[in-house]
């Protein structure tokens, strides 16, 4: 979602850490339960990601909203920030807001339509017009490269320059090496 929101910029490098001590298994595969990543893109764009237990601190929430639920984005610009709550509106707060100082502007995103419906509409539009689908194979590869880069940065404990090459899943390699005892 981040790559899409930023119009798919090229990743230059990243630095990340993950925690896999929970032994959590999802869809039959061991996965991390928390992580953070700092990503540098072309054109001077930077992103800070946090997920899992790293983003759910009840006493000191990393998201400014006390009722933040699943995923959200805060994109800082030169004159303000864009706040996007990925779960949909909470109470009277719209899903997308432009914040400039104390001024908050609500942005309506096709109100009343589910995300699944919008995804199906994108698929039908791609079929009918021949336009590339937002979730193309290339998009999937680009996203996977960032995920593997995050794991590789955690494994090497250093910045990963893009493009890079690995022959195995770095997260599973860390699990097998005993870096994350349960």
Could you read off the pLDDT of 143-160 as tens digits, one per residue?
Answer: 999 999 999 999 999 999
Task: Give the contacts of 119 (CB within 8 A, at least 6 positions apart).
Answer: 135
Q: pLDDT value at position 70?
A: 53
Count CB-CB contacts under 10 A for residue 20: 22
Count CB-CB contacts under 10 A for residue 152: 22
pLDDT digits (tens, 9 = 90+) for 103-118: 999 887 666 667 778 7
Count the helix, strand and coil residues of the chain and give each as a percent rounded to the nearest 5: 30, 30, 45
CA 114 to chain centroid: 20
> pTM of the prediction?
0.77
The parts of the chain modelled with pLDDT lower than 70 are: 54-71, 86-91, 109-113, 182
At the second CATH level, the architecture of 2-176 is 2-Layer Sandwich (3.30)
């Amino acid at each position: 979602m981040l790559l899409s929101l930023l119009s798919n910029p090229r990743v230059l490098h990243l630095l990340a850490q993950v925690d896999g001590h929970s032994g959590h298994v999802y869809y039959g595969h061991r996965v991390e339960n928390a992580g953070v990543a700092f990503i540098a893109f072309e054109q001077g764009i930077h992103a800070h990601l946090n997920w899992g237990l790293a983003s759910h601190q009840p006493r000191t929430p990393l998201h400014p909203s006390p009722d933040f639920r699943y995923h959200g984005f805060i994109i800082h610009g030169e004159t303000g920030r864009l706040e996007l709550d990925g779960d949909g509106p909470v109470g009277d707060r719209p899903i997308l807001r432009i914040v400039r100082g104390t001024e908050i502007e609500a942005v309506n995103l096709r109100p009343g339509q589910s995300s699944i419906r919008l995804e199906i509409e994108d698929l039908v539009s791609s079929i009918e017009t021949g336009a590339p689908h937002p979730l193309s194979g290339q998009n999937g590869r680009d996203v996977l490269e960032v995920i593997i880069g995050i794991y590789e940065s955690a494994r090497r404990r250093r910045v990963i320059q893009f493009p890079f090459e690995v022959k195995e899943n770095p997260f599973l390699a860390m699990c097998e090496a005993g870096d994350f005892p349960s």
